[in-house]
Chain A
């Protein structure tokens, strides 16, 4: 599988983000199975030639099985390994100290000087 990318060490049963190029009949065939993981909901993107790309989160065994049945697959990221790698990017402790610190949003605020007597939570 030369087209896959693996962000960390692979473990048995890891699921890859696989893009299947499907016709409506093939999509119906895949949807009729009860053992496939399409993520939160299936993501079907039609192409101009009457086919569509469909993302499946599949193990190597499932990938081999689908290829044996003639499905055209492009194997992408090892999603399971990506999840394990991202565990290092989960917060430790409590950066907001139990509510003593308020989070600040990522938007750029076009701040102007607060009028005298203004206070947080009051209408500007």
Chain B
């Protein structure tokens, strides 16, 4: 076995869709990369006929090209979930076990959407030419200089993207972002200027019931939750990313500005991150930590702008008509390398996949909602479609044909008269 190349990642998704047609759908994302590649999402759920919108979990990876194992983790997670669900089996990763009922509840109560490789151009470059490559391969801002190619995909989301305005001049420049195309943190020509981020935004718009979001990166051994621009606070809603009055003040720890997060939401994201951390630890004892992505209390922060977790979490605050999404970043591998051997990577895959299963279990909607959803499905299947079977009443049934014939005849007689 070996790390998946960019062709194999897309083939793997196609293979899963073909093998489990009843519970999967392959979705081509609409924006091609700078080198002309197309990415796919795999939707996993049961009861497609059910019209109600159950909560969805979106898991993405591969935004940073050199963080090789991410797509392998996500493909493996999808394969495990489908294999176990189809067989009605429990599954285990080392010391972490999940019952058949738990696996079934993920597929039947949730919708899981995976995009293993957001940045195939960058991954291909990293896996064939320059292993340490981080960005995508968009040459638009390079001016023809190969050292200035690419945008950091995880600084290109439209959350405080205009960091020179939104952040304090003293905010940590090695993590916020950069306006220099030669930098590994170059944030692009505009927020959402890149196909990779446009594809993620499209998924959120196409499936507005996405309620949980996980972006898999490496390395570090952390499960990170919002906010990433400044320290969290739960008391002053006026101190928030959307208020331009706080521009030039964000990103410095220990000062007056802290980012508002409702106390209930903070508790929700903390418990979800803890559930992921504990599941990972139960596999073989790996010491992952759950923490706010801005940094550790009492230490200088490392703020970010334009990051996926904060953007997904911020959408509801920017427009309350959108459902709240809880966004996370998982930094797999507690050691200090992007390139573990494949043998080491298989252990890491088991660790993180256990965490992703726990993440989905934590995200399951309540039984009341699920029961209502299933009642609707039952009514649709057993009552509505029996009283009004589609083969009689649908667009190709005799009733529609009769109606078209009558209307057609009426139209012809009108024209004659």
Contacts and interface: CB of A to CB of B under 8 A. Distances in A.
Contacts of A35: 174
B397 interface: no
Secondary structure dominating the interface of B: mixed
Given A39-B220, A87-B127, A96-B12, A114 B336 contact: no
A102 B23 contact: no
B7 A94 contact: yes
Interface stretch (B63-71, B319-327, B359-367): B63-71
Nearest to B307: A41
Interface string A20-61: 000010011011111111111111101000001001000000
Contacts of B151: none
A102 B15 contact: yes
Contacts of A82: 131, 337, 339
Given A40-B67, A99-B14, A31 B175 contact: yes
A107 B80 contact: yes
B88 A112 contact: yes
A112 B85 CA distance: 12
Interface residues on B, range: 35 or more
A32 B14 CA distance: 45
Contacts of A37: 184
B299 A32 contact: no
Contacts of B86: 120-122, 124
B296 interface: yes
A43 B296 contact: no
A101 interface: yes
Given A44-B299, A55-B336, A114 B87 contact: yes
Interface in A99-124: 99-112, 114, 118-124
A112 to B, nearest CB: 6
Contacts of B178: 34
B20 A43 contact: no
B57 interface: no
19 contacts: A31-B174, A31-B175, A34-B183, A41-B331, A52-B296, A79-B337, A82-B337, A92-B5, A99-B15, A103-B76, A104-B83, A106-B350, A107-B92, A109-B83, A120-B86, A121-B20, A121-B86, A123-B46, A123-B104
Q: Across the A-B interface, give the 7 residue pairs with the lowest CB-CB distance, nearest first.
A: A124-B88, A83-B131, A99-B14, A121-B22, A105-B80, A102-B19, A102-B15
Interface of A: 15, 17, 19, 24, 27-28, 30-44, 46, 52, 55, 76-77, 79-80, 82-87, 89-112, 114, 118-124
